[in-house]
Amino acid sequence: MEVREAGDGAAAGECDREPPKKYSWAEVRQAVHDLRKELSSLSTMVPMAICFRKLSCGKTRVYFLRTPQNGWETLLYTDVLPSLQPSNARLDWKPLIKSNVALGASTGKCSKEEQLLWERQRVAAWGIASYELHKETGRVLFPCASSLFIAEEGRGQSPPILPRSLSTGGGAPLTPAICPSTARLVAHAARGDIWLAGDCLGSPTRLTYACKGKDDRLLEDPLQAGVPCYVTQEEFSRYTGFWWQPKSDDDIYRIVYEEVDESDVKIFSFPSSNTASGDVDEFRFPRAGTPNAKSVLKLVTFRLTKSSPTNITVRRVLGEASSPTEGMDVTDVRWYEMRSPLKEMFPWFEYLARVGWTSCGQYVWAQILDRKQQILELVLIPLAEFNVSSHYSHGETQNDDPTQMSEQNNVDPSKIQVLLRETAPDSWINVHDIFYPLTNCTSCTGTNCTCATFKFIWASEETGFLHLYVITSNIQPDKANVVNTGIEEMLSEDENNASGPNIISKEAITSGDWEVMGRKIWVDETRDLVYFVGLRETPLERHLYVASITPSESGITLLTTVGHSHTVDMDDDCTVAVITSSNISSVPVTKVYNVCHTGGRVTLTQYGSLLERPMLDYLDPPFNGTWDRMGDGDENNDIPLLIKERSLSTIEVPPPQIYSTRLSCGMTAYCTLWRSRHAGPRPTVLHVYGGPEVQIVTNSYKGIRQLRMHMLAARGFTVVSVDSRGSKHRGRAWEAAIRGKMGQVELDDQVEVLQWLAKETGCIDMERVAIHGWSYGGYLSLLGLATRPHIFKVCVAGAPVTSWRLYDTAYTERYMGSPSERHNAYSRASVIPHAPFFPDREGRLLIIHGLADENVHFCHTAALLSELVRLGKPHRVQVYPGERHSLRTMHAAKHYEATLLHFLHENL
């Protein structure tokens, strides 16, 4: 990677400017069609969602999702033998399932629930979007088109396997999960409750009865079990609401789950995404300053018993029997609440950010946050805490025989343990996924855990950057000596009715002015090693590192190559790694490595490259003046244009360049520049996001994800993207600069970098600059035109926030505080008061919005339009009926691209 600094380019004005050229709508549409074909070379077939399984023959099978050149996203695999000598052999992609099954399923209609889940997960897939592997049996479970499928080797089957569907109940199955101890059982959420499916069952079984099933009367149905509320999914990236107990030595199956009560959350109506119906959809959405959903943790247990011959016969007569091998009934279903709900134990508790089980199966752990997201506690909940029977008023009642209930509670009662507490009074706490309990429960036997201490790996931003720590906490205070390290704030039992935190020791594994990525670590407890992805070399590159869990002089070892950014997956034993590497100018390459240990050193030895079998290119049909969903005018072409692989040599796509500069505040900012093929100052588009939680500028190949930047550059525009203060992975001080100041410091940085880059490169015409962005970028685009009309000649704002009072609680209050307490800050951050300052000249403002957007509601645009109309301000609006926050259909995406290009050509 070459990060350019001052003095790399020609001075502005050295070359003559080209006069702007006008294009007709038909010409721009044709240009979009042609550019999409040419730029399809940017698409890359990189394996995703990688899982590993040890085979009996000694090989490791690597599973992954990807799109073969001739079809939809599907399940693929390759086998590796770690003991082989280093090589660069090509490891072919092999289909795990028959491709026609996935293709057939993908053509089915997806439910509204699936569409909304994909919106929250930012999934853009046409086939299999996710799967789960049961590593002991090799069973693979995947949802597709409102159905569940199982693929399993054995019984005379070998890949490619013909999957079989599972009978599910209650609607589209969401977030399915295989039972860890019995692979033939699958739990899933559907229509607001948890269901049990499996080919060993005669029919699906409903496990909870929170939801009344009144889909058309949302007001009367505020409860749901196993499904997180909107803000938990959207703002905390937790999409499941139930968790299987990992193991048990009795015959009881246990699932801890979240029950959500949205009684106090306001209901809003939006035009349906099914535009032909004319219907409206209702959603519960908590705006800033209004009540959130309430979450409680509960437990459901059940047993399996063999079906009687009569029951099996009846099911087969009714057509409910799914296979001749089923013969189990779900019996003795019981529901339990916590002895003391979390809200009673922790009155400040607002958000249930993360939940899981310890490996011994005797504790549930949870990360809980206060409403301001400035206090986080990691709590350990003994299984014995779930000892109060719960009845669903419209479900089946349970047997309250105390002798039977005591089977659930044979662990000695104990309080909830607070493992640690973190505070961020001057900013906010960023929730992450790094919590790894180490195997120190050697004294656990079945359902009786007598461990006095609890040792785990945790990530914390207490130094200003996210780093790893190994912590030992006392979970039985009378059995260990507590050392106050001074790092954690201790709480008394009177403050939260729970024990702890009682930290015996806390040692840093990593440190420095750089971040560990907060998504995944891999732990080799046998060798006392932890592997992680971090940004030590540069904030622009992700690398794999290894360090000792017990702090040592050996420090941290870099395992990947500098000059590239890497995505990493490792097996549970930390013996095989799959790493995809790229940089801003080179396409991704995925390789399989053996993790080797020699003389106390850890190295990666390449085993092979994970490449697709070569396939012939598909011919592109001629443009016929229409845009269908899949192709470019050919209704019989079922191959999406965006996934066609071409050689990069078929089109000259100049790679973008990364620049850095020191801001006036003293911090360093990074930006990406896409040059057009024309010399001299060019009309320029500042493509902005600028909001928190996102990092745009990295030394990695983004390809088709930056299609529109390349498209703009190909049409003669210079394109610039800047990571301003508030963006991700630069430390707490960098992020927290926007606290209470949204829309202010970001634009200051964006304009400062743009002006510096114009002087340094000579390719930016500061008299012809457009600002364009989507979502938070749309918000900044509007503010840019209203507050800096002398800088920005044109604004194109997509799905913009215009008032933070209209956005959701968790996101808005995290960065802005409560609207009742920060009234002036909310007013300063709003676009609406700036309406009088929008230009009076026509052709400077274009607003784009999907009418069915359930994230940034169309009322944001409507509120601004009302003011603009009242003030007589010229503007143009492009509405996409049926589209949500992301433009999902191909014809809408292409129409948007043509609208953007046409508007820029006309007015810039």
Would the CA dihedral through 706, 708, 713, 719 be positive or negative? negative
- The angle that helices 25-38 and 890-907 make with each other, rounded to 10 degrees, is 120
Name which of 96, 106, 146 is nearest 128 in CA terms.
106
Catalytic residue among 427, 775, 781, 886: 775
Q: Give residues with Cβ within 8 angstroms of 317, minimum separation 6.
A: none
Any catalytic annotation for residue 573?
Answer: no
Q: What is the SS3 assignment for 152?
A: coil
Is residue 853 flagged as an active site residue? yes
Q: One of 710, 729, 857, 885 is an active-site residue; which one?
A: 885
Q: Spell out the residues 6+ positions from residue 118 whose beta carbon is closer than 8 angstroms to its own.
A: 124, 125, 129
Phi-psi region of 21 (alpha: psi -120 to 50; beta: other; left: phi over 0): beta
The answer to whether the beta carbons of residues 581 and 597 sit under 8 Å apart is no
Q: What is the 3 state secondary structure string of 839-906?
A: CCCCCCEEEEEECCCCCCCHHHHHHHHHHHHHHCCCCEEEEECCCCCCCCCHHHHHHHHHHHHHHHHH
The question of whether 432 is a catalytic residue gets the answer no
Torsion sign over Cα 639, 645, 647, 651: positive
Helix-helix angle 890-907:707-714, to 10 degrees: 40
* Helix (H) or strand (E) segment spanning residue 576: strand 576-583
Give residue 834's region: left, alpha or beta (phi > 0; psi -120 to 50). alpha
DSSP single-letter state for residue 85: P
Which of 727, 834, 853, 857 is an active site residue? 853
**Number of Cβ atoms within 10 Å of the Cβ of 443:** 11
Say how far apart CA 152 and CA 294 lie, in whole Å: 39
Q: What are phi and psi of 41, to 5 degrees?
A: -65, -20
Reported as type and span, the H/E element at residue 268 is: strand 267-271
- Please answer whether residues 458 and 422 qualify as being in contact, where contact means their C-beta atoms are separated by less than 8 angstroms: no
| Residue of 855, 736, 743 lying closest to 807 (CA atoms) | 855
Which residues are identified as catalytic? 775, 853, 885
